[in-house]
Structure 1
Amino acid sequence: MRGARMRPADVELREARPIGAEEPMFDGYPGALLEHVRIAVVVPTYRRPALLESCLAALCAQDLAPDDYEIIVCDDGPSDATRAVVERAAAQHAPRGLAVRYLPVRETQGPAAARNAGWRAARAPLIAFTDDDTVPDRGWLRAGLAALAHAEAAAGRIVMPLGDPPSDYERDASGLARAEFATANAFVQRATLVQVGGFDERFTAAWREDSDLHFAMLQAGARVVRADDAVVMHPVRPARWGVSLAQQRKSRFEALLFRKHPALYRERIGSGPPRLYYGVLISVLALVIALACGQQKIALAALAAWLGLTAAFCARRLRDTRHDIRHVGEMFWTSLWIPFLSIFWRLHGAVRYRVWFL
């Protein structure tokens, strides 16, 4: 049974200051101006001032009236460079009536906590979320407002340009464009955020915190729709060699999401890591045991299985991606370790969050 429809007017818009967040820097805006803002844009950032500057330029050029929206930059790891970028944007656009506010978040780290600080500091009844490395289209906010006229939340369209051919990392990152609900481009009624408690701050990395919010809203009876006219450009950032190894740490948050929403996890996300990962693990265990027992033939068979599975994994990652020496070398090296790291971090999450999750 669907929950009762929530209206922005049903909640008190003033809240206590978020734990770990200071008062917004730009309090010089007239109270009446902020009280009549229709939508607040929340942008978490972490020491990427150049990217943030491009994002703010696009946000300040929206085709809404300047006093219809405000921008709140939540600095998760406050820095003078980030503060300076926001100050410049605020000074430039204040004469037009557009409020650009800076919110340093010191004690609670992570994008989930930063977004919570942002929407709780907002005066508007509607909240838009995007990231500091996006470039929203000029009509982005207008399309988001239209979607929220008949829904509690909406997911916009994310465009991610790729190289031709892309790297394995770029292809993997582009999965964000196919996400059902991603906070790089999302709109939510503030009343709905209040009802579900906002983001779960245990998601300390940028992984699955948006899925958790999505699932929480669905379970609360909220209507979540697509807003494909609300477009943001999200270029894939350059990454260091071997980045896929470090990314396996995010797997621990899969266990937390599964513990909170087991049915929706199975329905919307599906199973665990590829069976190939477990095949690799079993092959290596068999190799070690066979060597310890002096079973040379079994050891050779296990070694062949391990190398064969690893080669298949590497070949799959190279399919339709770059074939330069640097990239091929990276795929070979990381393919050796990813199965072990992925399983380790999933088990780490299962133990930490006390859930049976393989």
Structure 2
Amino acid sequence: MDMMKKISVVIPTYKRPQLLIKCLHALHQQVLEKKYYEVIVVSDGFDAATKKLVHEMQHLFQDHLVYLHHEVRKGPAAARNLGWLFSSSPLIAFTDDDCIPDERWLLEILTHHDGKSDLVYSGTVIVPTARKPTDYEKNTAQLEQAEFITANCACTKKVLYQVGGFDERYKMAWREDSDLHFKLLQQRIPIIKLPKAVVIHPVRRAKWGVSVKEQKKGIYNALLFKKFPTLYRSKIASRTSLLYYTLLVLLLIMIYSTIVRMPLLQWYSTIFWVCLTMAFIMLRLRGTRRSLGHVTEIVVTSIVIPYLSIFWKIYGAIKFRVFMI
């Protein structure tokens, strides 16, 4: 073991060198001396461009910059496990390839580390957004209120061994950090808040209709609920599910009444469906950009999101064999 290294930074990534390079530059500019930390970049599958970038920047880190990769894609949870298990440092910091750590980030963590082996640290995440953000930017900005996320946290290696690291059944970047958080809470492992350990989380440019694709992540809500039902209900469960199921029931009534030719029922169910859908659209538009393109995107995606959300939730419940509605 290299006794000089006190902390390792693990960054999961995959084919996003244009984002990763900004993160690495920020880590290169840390005020902490290079000899005290290393950076471990873990690609979720082989990535020639990322490997080349890491090799080109190794000299900036006094060769304390490492590239690892999985042979096949396994998700960010597995990538983080590969990284922290490879590390020779007693303390492991996690961030993401689209994040920009403040220059004092690592120093803040080490300054507050008293050498104990059963501690976890959680820093501050800042999401810069426009005064009138898009719906996607607004959702991403919620990371600022998260209790614990892997964009900015640090765990002693002993703790990671104790809780079994990250659950690799989470194949997407969703709920794997909540899973780790809940394991820490269950085992009463102290989580120390470090407000001055700051990481900036810029909002990535998103494709039109990204919120539709995002619904697939709901699969892993079922896994988290199965493992931690009480914590899930208290910290994550959302009232939007009731709205989604109401919209689904109204849609089914509309279809049924059309087939059996019940015009009055069809009329009332259609009116209620339109009203609730409009309420959902206005809820998503609240405080966001009102450009024609953005409003059109919100209207179109709001029509399909409730049903996709329910579909992926049921899919996850079947996949992980848990009753969840």
- TM-score interval, normalised by the smaller of the two chains: over 0.9
**Residue in structure 2 matched with residue 317 of structure 1 by the alignment:** 284
1:68 positional shift = 0.7
**Residue in structure 2 matched with residue 234 of structure 1 by the alignment:** 201
Label 1:147 to 1:301 Cα distance change in 2 as closer, same or farther (>3 A).
farther
Helix, strand or coil at the partner of 2:240: coil
Worse-matched range after superposition: 151-160 or 204-213: 151-160
Cα distance in 2 for partners of 1:111, 1:175 equals: 20
Q: Deviations over 1:224-250 (max 9, x none)?
A: 121111101110001000000000001
**Residue in structure 1 matched with residue 109 of structure 2 by the alignment:** 144
**Residue in structure 2 matched with residue 71 of structure 1 by the alignment:** 39
**Residue in structure 2 matched with residue 41 of structure 1 by the alignment:** 9
**Residue in structure 2 matched with residue 135 of structure 1 by the alignment:** 100
**Residue in structure 2 matched with residue 27 of structure 1 by the alignment:** none
**Residue in structure 2 matched with residue 117 of structure 1 by the alignment:** 82
Aligned positions of 1:1-358 closer than 5 A? 34-94=2-62, 99-149=64-114, 152-271=119-238, 273-358=240-325
Cα distance in 2 for partners of 1:93, 1:129 equals: 17
Note if contact 2:38-2:61 (Cα within 8 Å) is conserved in structure 1.
no
Worse-matched range after superposition: 138-147 or 184-193: 138-147
Paired AA for residue 4 in structure 2: H
Note if contact 1:283-1:303 (Cα within 8 Å) is conserved in structure 2.
yes
1:282 positional shift = 0.9
1:346 positional shift = 0.7
Note if contact 1:126-1:190 (Cα within 8 Å) is conserved in structure 2.
yes
Percent identity, aligned pairs only, is 43
How many residue pairs get aligned? The number is 323
For structure 1, the residue ranges without an aligned partner over 5 or more in a row are 1-31
Note if contact 2:218-2:312 (Cα within 8 Å) is conserved in structure 1.
yes
Q: Segments of 4+ in structure 1 off by > 4 A?
A: none
Cα distance in 2 for partners of 1:92, 1:278 equals: 54
For structure 2, the residue ranges without an aligned partner over 5 or more in a row are none
Helix, strand or coil at the partner of 1:47: coil
Cα distance in 2 for partners of 1:271, 1:323 equals: 26
* TM-score normalised per structure 2: 0.96
Note if contact 1:147-1:225 (Cα within 8 Å) is conserved in structure 2.
no
Helix, strand or coil at the partner of 2:9: strand
Note if contact 1:137-1:230 (Cα within 8 Å) is conserved in structure 2.
yes
1:152 positional shift = 1.1
Cα distance in 2 for partners of 1:235, 1:241 equals: 18
1:273 positional shift = 3.5
Cα distance in 2 for partners of 1:92, 1:336 equals: 50
CA RMSD of aligned residues (A): 1.3
1:272 positional shift = 5.7
**Residue in structure 2 matched with residue 24 of structure 1 by the alignment:** none
Cα distance in 2 for partners of 1:175, 1:188 equals: 23
Q: Deviations over 1:65-119 (max 9, x none)?
A: 211111100011222211111111112332xxx5111111223521001000000
Paired AA for residue 198 in structure 1: G
